[in-house]
Structure 1
Amino acid sequence: MPNTLDFDDITSWVFDLDNTLYPRHTDLFSQIDKKMTAYVQNLLSLPRDEARKVQKDYYRDYGTTLNGLMKIHGIDPNDFLEKVHDIDYSWIKPHPELGEAIRTLPGRKFIFTNGDVGHAERTATALGILDHFDEIFDILAADLTPKPAAETYDRFLSLHSIDGASAAMFEDLPRNLTVPKSLGMRTVLIVPHNMDEALGEVWEEEGKDGDHIDYVTDDLAGFLQTYLDAR
């Protein structure tokens, strides 16, 4: 649980989207994952298993499947984003406790995602928390360079005039917290509830015990509320 002193000087609260603002067991991202596999399959005329391997290799090596497809195959990013985010958002249930905790946090609140604004807005709307955020920084705002690239965090901080030392970052991938920690941000890793579920890929767990992670929680709403109650 949070040490209140670690967060008392925080004026910018930064949240990843997928598997962070909603729990991994919601399984929303599995729809996107399947759409990405199908996209690669159709683009490269590959059997599904081979297409999935290419998809995951690009994800690991380039930060996102999209980034790999752009660099290697020169695809239209808007076409990709539109197709892979054509999903059913009814899988997400409203989370009023999370919404109230985010609303009450002192300072500005941001969604910082490797997805696009439309996906972030639809997801946050389904959760009932969209109105509590000041801005959404998406992959297009990042000039199509995804986390964990250092220049993307620099671009985000510069655009919104954020001092890293007064910001906290909540994220489900350990490697995406390395740069935020180096910028002075408080870092919180979101993990599956009771660690009942493994992360999607083995490499996604790399660094989960690193010094760049200040806190680990499987309950984002509870974590935030604990801080607020102790203020």
Structure 2
Amino acid sequence: MTHHPRSLHTAFRHVDTWVFDLDNTLYPADSDLWPKIDARITMFLMHLFGLDGLTSRALQKYYYQTYGTTLNGLMAEHEISADEFLAFVHDIDRSSLNPNHSLASAILRLPGRKLIFTNGSREHALKTAEQLGLTRMFEDIFDIVAADFVPKPAERTYLRFFEAHGVDPARAAMFEDIAKNLVVPHARGMTTTLVAPKKGAKDHREPWEIGSGREPYIDFVTDDLGAFLRDLPVSKI
């Protein structure tokens, strides 16, 4: 989707808070990071229940679709330790991610505050941002623990985020790879951008997570977050 530079200026000139999802947003959806986490979740279920891989995988996806996250399903039905789960599934090798200096400079030039809002853990966000060379870009991270384990796209989680960080959604923008996670932000007044994979690139997300980009709650679509941010006329915002 293309937009005239003037429309970009109009849409973002009021923004003083920039909110970024982490996984498949600050790094591309064809990265191997999410498959590594996904595999660790399956492994956790295998160890927990003594199941084979295929059965554990099916159970994992059932929990994900039913409860919003596999962790929520395990907490609801089996009262497992959230700390143990998060530490295990995010214990991955991130060396395949190269520092993204172009994205770092694009984020750094944005006026105002920058925050990460993720359904993952704070530790995972910190380590991933460090690997990407983005650590010092962000004021803070709002993770699944801060959300009291209620994941996006639940409205109460966004309200909790707004309150925790003093965010005025009417003066904020959100960048996210899962379309449905932009419904509430748009309704609350945020300027929303869907970050999509490049054409022909691998996409490791689940089919039900992928939007068309034409949804009414999506203001902009980009397959290159760094380039999109560099196109914003921030000197005039």
TM-score, normalising length: structure 1: 0.95
Alpha-carbon deviations, 1:17-67, whole Å to 9, x = none? Answer: 000001112221111000000111221222211111111121122221111
Cα displacement (A) at 1:135: 0.7
Cα displacement (A) at 1:7: 0.3
Tell me which amino acid in the other structure corresponds to 2:228: F
The 2-side partners of 1:10 and 1:219 are apart by 20
Alpha-carbon deviations, 1:182-230, whole Å to 9, x = none? Answer: 1110111111112533452211125643101111111000000001478
Partner of 2:153: 148
The 1-side partners of 2:212 and 2:188 are apart by 17
Q: 1:38 aligns with which of 20, 38, 43?
A: 43
Partner of 1:210: 215
1:117-132 equivalences under 5 Å are 117-132=122-137
The 1-side partners of 2:200 and 2:141 are apart by 28
Give yes or no for the alignment of 1:93 onto 2:98: yes
| Distance change >3 Å, CA 219–CA 153, structure 1 → 2 | same
Give yes or no for the alignment of 1:25 onto 2:22: no
Partner of 2:141: 136
Higher deviation after alignment, 39-48 or 151-160: 39-48
**Unaligned 5+ residue runs, structure 2?**
none
Q: Would you say the 8 A contact 2:34–2:204 is kept in 1?
A: no
Tell me which amino acid in the other structure corresponds to 1:70: M
The 1-side partners of 2:212 and 2:79 are apart by 31
The 2-side partners of 1:105 and 1:39 are apart by 39
Q: 1:173 aligns with which of 178, 188, 192?
A: 178
Alpha-carbon deviations, 1:66-103, whole Å to 9, x = none? Answer: 11111121110000000001100111100011101111
**Unaligned 5+ residue runs, structure 1?**
none
Q: CA RMSD in A?
A: 1.5
Partner of 1:48: 53
The 2-side partners of 1:24 and 1:206 are apart by 14
The 1-side partners of 2:210 and 2:130 are apart by 29
What's the secondary structure of 1:24's corresponding residue? Answer: coil
Partner of 1:200: 205
Q: Would you say the 8 A contact 2:30–2:204 is kept in 1?
A: no
4+ aligned runs moved over 4 Å, structure 1:
none
Partner of 2:193: 188
TM-score, normalising length: structure 2: 0.93
Q: Would you say the 8 A contact 2:30–2:201 is kept in 1?
A: no
The 1-side partners of 2:213 and 2:13 are apart by 25
The 1-side partners of 2:23 and 2:150 are apart by 17
Identity %: 48
The 1-side partners of 2:111 and 2:184 are apart by 24
